[in-house]
């Protein structure tokens, strides 16, 4: 490979394993944290200044948003794995083709996803039976959010390219800046200008548009091998096919899983606006846990993909063990915090006593079960780092969608208990983690990766 002129790139085929994984995962997590601040800031401002119906409206839209964005994120993962593998193999020509293919395809997909979101949003809100007192607010928020989806999708791919090359720091800086802009705009539009829930939505869209500027500047004006060239911006179909092969199963699974979660919203809606608001509060902490696990998992994916491209089997073995240990320690620590301070954490977002009660119940019921959930995510992503995406997709889909929806559908025919709805998440995490670990062990034995 040509000499790197940019010290931000991280060749994970060399040096100590633990520092590389941590130094990659920590900026990625902080970046995800600030990205999550887009919606969290909306919830905080809306919950305190517009009331529980407005907060319930945002809560009702969260899984619909994830249904659309998760599809692209799955494809983005496939593209990033291909880029990481070509980076690890030191093939400059293939690396540049991979980068430009990823960007060209992202531009097309982002337009399609925006149109899809705008067209289907009212239908989806009706399908999950959003209460009438919340519906108009939810529809307004969702349509404005989807109008800026193109900015979010294109930014995620641009930042994902840098992360695939081992650079998780600069995307962090860009996200911190745009997240702070979002918070400031939330306060201005909602409190000062009194734009209501529409102001929170427009603050998010404007902030996402701003986030594209610095990341495009880096890609267009770097002197390194990944510099963006308009002349090369086209789709290489063999590489695009490989990205689809790796990313499409995960894209479809993630999208369907998120869509399935919209029906989880349907079961929550039965208990009224206070429960919906409590579910929205829980959703903020759930997303915090998910993005933490995603950061560790993606660090492991990038590490495995680069070393797989370089043929470093012993480093892969060590990296997997360290990733598991890091995941258990961090997720376990946060589970203890959830159990001890659930009421206080819920009260940070809303003052309504009943909503706080529901939010704390959701948080406590799921706290310890994020450990098996982290195993699902970690080993699924490690397998994708090797280019194996179909099996983890089937396992995740079977647990997170089929089993969960079966439990909810059958269970609610027998009882209307809140406990049944609240435990639908953690029950399937345990099952899915067990199956994922069993498959990974068999895969590892077959390919002589971990169990020898």
**Residue-wise pLDDT tens digits, 227-286:** 888 888 899 999 999 888 888 876 776 777 676 666 777 788 888 888 888 888 888 788
Task: Give 370-421 pLDDT, tens digit per residue.
Answer: 999 999 989 988 888 887 878 888 898 898 888 988 988 898 888 888 888 8
Confidence of residue 319 (pLDDT cuts 50, 70, 90): confident
DSSP H/E element including 418: helix 418-422
Alpha-carbon distance of 269 to 405, in angstroms, equals: 16
With 90 as the cut, is the pLDDT of residue 433 above it? yes
How far, in Å, are 113, 138, 157, 399 from residue 107 at the CA level?
Answer: 10, 27, 10, 32
DSSP H/E element including 253: helix 237-269
pLDDT at 10: 61
pLDDT at 22: 80
With 70 as the cut, is the pLDDT of residue 88 above it? yes
Compute the mean pLDDT over every residue in the chain, rounded to the nearest whole number. 83
The rounded radius of gyration (Å) of the Cα atoms in the chain is 21
Confidence of residue 449 (pLDDT cuts 50, 70, 90): low
pLDDT at 420: 85
With 50 as the cut, is the pLDDT of residue 1 above it? no
Task: Give 49-86 pLDDT, tens digit per residue.
Answer: 887 788 778 877 877 787 777 777 778 888 888 898 88
Task: Give 191-234 pLDDT, tens digit per residue.
Answer: 899 898 899 889 989 988 988 899 889 998 888 888 888 888 89
Alpha-carbon distance of 324 to 326, in angstroms, equals: 6
Alpha-carbon distance of 55 to 418, in angstroms, equals: 20
Pair 54, 197: CB distance under 8 Å: yes
With 80 as the cut, is the pLDDT of residue 147 above it? yes
Task: Give 284-296 pLDDT, tens digit per residue.
Answer: 788 788 878 888 8
pLDDT (mean) for 301-321:
82
pLDDT at 437: 92
Confidence of residue 336 (pLDDT cuts 50, 70, 90): very high
Residues of the chain above pLDDT 90, percent: 15
Pair 279, 424: CB distance under 8 Å: no
Alpha helices for 50-168 (secondary structure H): 52-88, 92-127, 132-147, 149-164
pLDDT at 3: 42
How far, in Å, are 108, 354, 355, 397 from residue 350 at the CA level?
Answer: 39, 10, 7, 33
pLDDT at 429: 92
With 90 as the cut, is the pLDDT of residue 430 above it? yes
pLDDT (mean) for 120-134:
82
Residue with tokens 């498959």: 439
pLDDT at 371: 92
pLDDT at 117: 80
* Positive or negative torsion for Cα 219, 73, 109, 34: negative
With 80 as the cut, is the pLDDT of residue 15 above it? no
pLDDT at 4: 44
SS3 state at 416? coil
Alpha-carbon distance of 161 to 6, in angstroms, equals: 14
Confidence of residue 5 (pLDDT cuts 50, 70, 90): very low
With 60 as the cut, is the pLDDT of residue 2 above it? no
Residues 6+ apart with CB under 8 A from 325: none
Confidence of residue 21 (pLDDT cuts 50, 70, 90): confident
Alpha-carbon distance of 331 to 181, in angstroms, equals: 30
């Amino acid at each position: 490979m040509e000499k790197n002129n940019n010290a931000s790139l991280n060749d994970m085929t060399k040096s100590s394993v633990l520092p590389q994984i941590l130094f990659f995962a920590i900026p990625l997590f902080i970046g995800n944290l600030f990205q999550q601040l887009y919606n969290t800031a909306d919830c905080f401002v809306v919950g305190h200044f517009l009331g529980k119906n407005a907060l319930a409206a945002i809560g009702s839209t969260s899984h619909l948003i994830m249904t659309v964005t998760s599809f692209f994120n799955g494809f983005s993962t496939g593209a990033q794995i291909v880029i990481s593998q070509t980076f690890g193999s030191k093939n400059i020509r293939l690396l540049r083709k991979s980068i430009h293919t990823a960007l060209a395809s992202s531009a097309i997909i982002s337009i399609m996803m925006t149109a899809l979101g705008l067209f289907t949003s009212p239908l989806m809100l009706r399908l999950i039976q959003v209460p009438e007192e919340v519906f108009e607010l939810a529809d307004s928020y969702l349509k404005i959010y989807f109008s800026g989806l193109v900015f979010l999708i294109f930014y995620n791919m641009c930042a994902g390219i840098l992360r695939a090359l081992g650079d998780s720091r600069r995307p962090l800086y860009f996200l911190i800046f745009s997240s702070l802009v979002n918070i400031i705009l939330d306060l201005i539009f909602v409190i000062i200008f009194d734009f209501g829930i529409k102001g929170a939505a427009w603050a998010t869209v404007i902030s996402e548009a701003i986030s594209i500027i610095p990341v495009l500047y880096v890609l267009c004006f770097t002197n390194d091998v990944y510099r963006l060239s308009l002349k090369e911006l086209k789709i290489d179909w063999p590489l695009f096919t490989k990205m689809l092969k790796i990313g499409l199963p995960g894209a479809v699974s993630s999208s369907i899983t998120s869509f399935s979660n919209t029906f989880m919203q349907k079961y929550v809606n039965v208990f009224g606006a206070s429960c919906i608001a409590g579910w929205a509060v829980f959703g903020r902490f759930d997303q915090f846990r998910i993005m933490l696990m995603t950061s560790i998992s993606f660090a492991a994916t990038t590490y495995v993909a680069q070393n797989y491209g370089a043929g470093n089997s012993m480093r892969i073995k060590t990296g997997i063990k360290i990733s598991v240990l890091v995941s258990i320690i961090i997720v376990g620590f946060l589970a203890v915090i959830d159990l001890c301070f659930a009421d206080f954490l819920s009260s940070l977002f809303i003052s309504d006593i009943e909503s706080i009660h529901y939010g704390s119940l959701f948080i406590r019921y799921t706290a310890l079960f994020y450990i098996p959930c982290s195993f699902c995510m970690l080993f699924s992503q490690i397998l994708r780092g090797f280019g194996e995406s179909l099996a983890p997709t089937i396992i995740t889909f079977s647990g997170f969608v089929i089993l969960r929806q079966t439990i909810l559908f059958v269970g609610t025919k027998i009882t209307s208990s809140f406990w049944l709805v609240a435990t639908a998440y953690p029950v399937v995490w345990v099952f899915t983690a067990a199956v994922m670990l069993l498959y990974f062990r068999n895969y590892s034995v077959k390919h002589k990766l971990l169990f020898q």
